[in-house]
Amino acid sequence: MTTKNTNITAFKLVDFPEEIDNKNNIKLYGETSWENQLAVLSHYLHNNTFNDNIKEEIVFAIREFLERKKTSETKDIIDDYITNVAENPIEYNLFSEFFNVPFPSPKESKFTFIDLFAGMGGFRLAMQAQGGKCVFSSEWNKYAQKTYLANFGEMPFGDITNEFTKRYIPQKFDVLCAGFPCQPFSIAGVSKKKSLGRETGFKDKTQGTLFFDVADIINRHRPKAFFLENVKNLMSHDKGNTFKVIKETLEELRYSIHYLVMDGQNYVPQHRERIMIVGFNRDIFHGNEQFSFPKQKETQPKIKDILDPNIDDKYTLSDKLWNYLQNYAKKHREKGNGFGFGIVDLNGISRTLSARYYKDGSEILIPQGDTKNPRRLSPRECARLMGYPDRYRLNQVSDVQAYRQCGNSVVVPLITAVSEQLVKTLFSNSSHE
């Protein structure tokens, strides 16, 4: 009989059918993608907090995996052993790859949080640094999912607008984190509906935008606090009406709101302004929380501090691309526009890194002297520019996808600084008075 040290990895071979046990009529509720099964399984292995119905999915999914493997290296596994392993996967050292990661959850957690629109996991790094344990993550991009899995041992669930996905969120958790995308939405119909006597409260507004999926989750689960991040322009979009609706919606859910536009340049050598929105549950804190955003640092990092001394020539711009960028910039200067490339002062900071950086690198170009064309940042340097440590794994995806993920990410040390203040407030005795 095989011992408990059997190490069977699920990373390459999980391929569950729609029905994994006809005799017991256990179905996987129609979601049978490899990514979704890894999400279900990895969340269970790390948290073991799903309800009984979902636990049945896990038990039968693991059993099916072992049955499939039984024909190769695990021929001596018998039915009783399969049942024992399926019900105690951690004890039997199954799927150890989920735990051999650079950023595991803290062994003793102080609070729980969920990570929505998780991307590369910048919020997760920040909250884990405060002693938080992530009990649910969601990210729709399959490449970002791979990066997240490689670093945290957890495959995020997919589309958070899907009710199937939402049912995996634990009923209770302390903090909701979301760098939600800014989708334009209209409130033009509200006044008309009021005149017709129709409902125009929270439920009426929750159509068509990702923010309202976040608000819906807040409304259902009532966490103690939330931490949202978005682009600076969120405040001015639609003449301020967009942010007004967001703020009013959150306040309507009985949360007190704190917000501030902060620049990442005091934490990393990059000009990157983002709005931070922190909220506390009025049913718990009664609006008396003593929260304040961290003070901006006086010191400023330099771009030269994140550069590799020996860089591959593949990051140097070709003559064709370099000539194109120069001609493009010249054409727009003549028209009085400011469009063009950005050569970085090595003793200064860069422009804002964008998700399109992979196309030509034009917003952040590193000078290489008069005899050599400038170059792009490497993906590793982009990760440093966002505040990710070097042990963070980037090689699960192509350079193109790594560039996109960095450009869409949060500035980790800035999010960490705000998270520290949030968690201090969460545990402050004065906040409950």
Asked if the model's pLDDT at residue 196 lies above 50, the reply is no
Q: According to the model, what pLDDT value does residue 98 have? A: 81
Q: How sure is the predictor about 87, in pLDDT bands with cuts at 50, 70 and 90? A: low
Residue 291 confidence (pLDDT) above 90: yes
Q: Do domains 111-296+411-432 and 303-407 have the same CATH topology?
A: no
Q: How confident is the model at residue 37 (pLDDT cuts 50, 70, 90)?
A: confident
In the prediction, which pLDDT does 269 show? 97
Evaluate if residue 161 carries a pLDDT over 80.
Answer: yes
The pairing of beta strand 225-231 with beta strand 175-178: parallel
Residues acting as catalytic residues: 182
Query: Of 90-104, 284-298, 400-414, which gets the smallest average pLDDT?
Result: 90-104
pLDDT band at 64 (very low <50, low <70, confident <90, very high): low
Q: Exposure string (b/e) for 360-369, b if CB count within 10 Å is 16 or more? A: bbbbbbbeee
Tell me the C-alpha distance between 155 and 99, whole Å: 12
- Whether the pLDDT of residue 50 is over 80: the answer is no
The domain limits of the chain are 19-98, 111-296+411-432, 303-407
Q: What is the pLDDT averaged over residues 271-290?
A: 96
Q: How confident is the model at residue 238 (pLDDT cuts 50, 70, 90)?
A: confident
Question: Average pLDDT of the chain?
Answer: 81
303-407: which CATH number, 3.40.640.10, 3.30.565.10, 3.90.120.10, 3.30.465.10? 3.90.120.10
Task: Report the pLDDT averaged over residues 132-159.
Answer: 95
Helix (H) or strand (E) holding 211: helix 210-221
pLDDT (mean) for 287-315: 92
In degrees and rounded to multiples of 5, residue 180 shows phi and psi of -70, 140
Tell me how far apart the alpha carbons of residues 236 and 259 are, in angstroms, rounded to a whole number: 14
Nearest partner of 104 among 128, 126, 88, judged by Cα: 128
Sole residue written with tokens 């931490």: 227
What are the pLDDT digits (tens) for 245-258? 899 999 999 999 99
pLDDT of residue 15: 34
| Rounded-to-integer distance, Cα 316 and Cα 376, Å | 6
Residue 233 pLDDT level (bands cut at 50, 70, 90): confident
**What is the predicted pLDDT for the residue at 305?**
96
Q: Is residue 213 within a helix (H) or strand (E), and if so which, with residue range? A: helix 210-221
Nearest of 284, 275, 181, 306 to residue 224 by alpha carbon:
284
Range with the poorest average pLDDT among 94-108, 269-283, 385-399, 406-420: 94-108
- pLDDT score for 210: 84
Tokens matching residue 54: 């979902």
Taking the model in full, what pTM does it have?
0.83
Topology classification of domain 111-296+411-432: Rossmann fold (3.40.50)
